[in-house]
Amino acid sequence: MRLDRLSLLNFKNFQEASIELSAGLNCFVGANGAGKTNLLDAIHYLSMSKSFLMAADVYSIRHGDDFFVVQGDFLLKQREERIYCGVKKGNSKVFKRNGKDYEKISDHIGLLPVVFVSPYDTNLIDGAGEDRRKYLNSVVSQLDSGYLSTLIDYNRVLTQRNRYLKQAWEARHLDEEVLAVLDMQLSGLGTQIYNRRKQFIDELAPIFNNYYRFVSGGNEVVSIGYDSALASKSMGELLLASRDKDRYLQHTSVGIHRDDIELLIDGYPVKRDGSQGQQKTVLIALKLAQFDYISKALGIKPLLLLDDIFDKLDMQRVEQLILLVAGEAFGQIFITDSNKTRLDGILRKTKGDHRLFRVENGNVIQVNDEE
């Protein structure tokens, strides 16, 4: 899979831009605030139908305008695919594949997978459990279209259960049978989600370790695990055991909406004991492992978006990463850096097709390597 052309209209700081991309490595160099991350976010839109920054769509409309359009011409399994995303203030988002509106935009997720490595990923380490669950949900839904609908159903039943607990508290009467029906539905959906997430993390773990070892030079040992109360008890047992507590709390205190990912370095939490460079290496290894996992599961190499990945890393780690990026293991890569010398270093090592672009105040210009 590859993106051949990216066109933007009123997207963030780009008034109008159209870029012909390399099938291999695409390097974007420019000063801070030039719009490099915005370009990667536009690509994220075409894959995931929303901003990587999770912001509302209207914030991606260029200041002073009232709509934006992002369009991409892809080649997927020898077929051309034109993806269009348009957002106008006050209207709902229009998302089209080859000129045809999607009935449900969520049906698009997984068609053109993407892996985004970003400085904003730090919330996967120092953020709340919710940030890590969002990450899990976003990755697994690219792998398995049924997962997203199961998750939507789970959240719907969870809302119903919480509403019922509140009503029962206010009415001073709880019908055990109503709760039992809700619990049964929630357990069935929750167990499916637990199994899918656990399978993903268990299979990701050895790949994650390998990438960490390669980039760090084997200086530390890391591990990743899925942290869930469902590991020791079934969801039905957990709901039953917390029924009294939930009545008083008026919400559901157990379930997969409380789960987390555990990241350790030499046996201790990365969040507490990892240095900034180690934390960054963990995030990069996690995302590269995700890339391998998705490639194998879907039989397509996702687009790899690498935003400012070298910051905070020592020379040895930077060199190892350059080896990875310049190699043949990944498909189409998009990499941003404010340091042109570093990008030149990567381009010199790259044997395959590549292009260098300069980004300046919302303009993108293709330049020759030696310029």
Which member of 36, 44, 108, 197 binds ligand ATP (CB under 6 A)?
A: 36
Which member of 6, 34, 139, 270 binds ligand ATP (CB under 6 A)?
A: 34
Which residues make beta-bridge pairs with 72?
Answer: 6, 83
Question: ∠ at Cα 232 (121, 241), nearest 5°?
Answer: 105
Residue 313 and residue 342 in contact, taking contact as beta carbons nearer than 8 Å: no
* Integer Cα distance of 124 and 283 in angstroms: 8
* Sign of the Cα pseudo-torsion (231, 115, 47, 75, in order): negative
The reply to whether 31 sits in an annotated binding site is: yes
118 binds ligand ATP (CB under 6 A): no
The reply to whether 30 sits in an annotated binding site is: yes
33 binds ligand ATP (CB under 6 A): yes
Q: Which is nearer to ligand ATP, 236 or 345 (CB)?
A: 345
Min separation Cβ 13 and ligand ATP, Å: 4
Min separation Cβ 38 and ligand ATP, Å: 4
* Binding to ligand ATP in span 332-371, by CB under 6 A: 336, 338
30 binds ligand ATP (CB under 6 A): yes
Q: What angle in degrees, to the nearest 10, is found between the helix axes of 276-298 and 176-216?
A: 110
Identify which range of 55-63, 91-99, 171-179, 321-329 contacts ligand ATP by CB under 6 A.
55-63
Pairing of strands 268-269, 260-265: antiparallel
Which member of 22, 26, 38, 228 binds ligand ATP (CB under 6 A)?
A: 38
Min separation Cβ 362 and ligand ATP, Å: 7
How far from the centroid of its chain's Cα atoms is residue 8's Cα? 22
259 binds ligand ATP (CB under 6 A): no
* Integer Cα distance of 24 and 42 in angstroms: 18
- Find the DSSP H helices in 119-219: 123-126, 129-143, 145-171, 176-216
* CA neighbor of 207 nearest in space, from 330, 292, 327: 292
274 binds ligand ATP (CB under 6 A): no
CA dist list (Å): 67 to 85, 92, 95, 103, 313: 11, 11, 14, 21, 39
Q: DSSP state, 1?
A: -
Q: Which is nearer to ligand ATP, 338 or 350 (CB)?
A: 338
Which member of 22, 26, 37, 216 binds ligand ATP (CB under 6 A)?
A: 37
50 binds ligand ATP (CB under 6 A): no
308 binds ligand ATP (CB under 6 A): yes
Identify which range of 33-41, 124-132, 142-150, 348-356 contacts ligand ATP by CB under 6 A.
33-41
The contact set with ligand ATP (CB under 6 A) reads 12-13, 30, 32-38, 59-63, 308, 336, 338
